[in-house]
Amino acid sequence: MDLPDKWIWTFRPNKCDVFCLGSEKKDTVRAVDVLTVLREKVAFVSGGRDKRGGPILTFPARTNHDRIKQEDLSRLVTYLSTVPSDDVRSRGFTVVVDMRGSKWDSVKPVLRTLQESFSSCLGPALLLV
């Protein structure tokens, strides 16, 4: 299901500053900057929480993870990290990467992005194989 532009602008602020547990302020990312990748459903924050109360970042099963540019993926993860409140975000994200139907090489960019640009915000990471 594609989200209409109005939904994004109505429920998400136009500009978000990213703060994570123990991290410095990161680049500002606007929804319009990641709209193309959002529509491809590469990743999402469902609103669910783990047992610790932390948010859940999900990368659903895809066969073309490697088609997404590393920079786009990094901006998407940065944007999605602004969705939960500061209190929830401070508990650290649980990351679920669904690798079913994917080759290991196609999932490596996702893991690399999480390690390089999101590691201070991470809690548990789960890989579904």
Residue 64 belongs to domain with CATH number: 3.40.525
Nearest of 64, 118, 75, 72 to residue 95 by alpha carbon: 118
Q: Give the chain's domain count.
A: 1
The pLDDT of residue 128 is: 92
Q: Is the pLDDT of residue 50 over 90?
A: yes
CB 59 within 8 A of CB 42: yes
d(CA 58, CA 97): 6
pTM of the full predicted structure?
0.74
Q: Assign 119 to helix, strand or coil.
A: helix
CB 96 within 8 A of CB 56: yes
What is the span of the domain harbouring residue 49? 5-128
**Mean pLDDT estimate for the chain:** 77
Nearest of 35, 103, 116 to residue 65 by alpha carbon: 103
pLDDT in tens, 18-41: 334 334 444 578 888 899 888 888
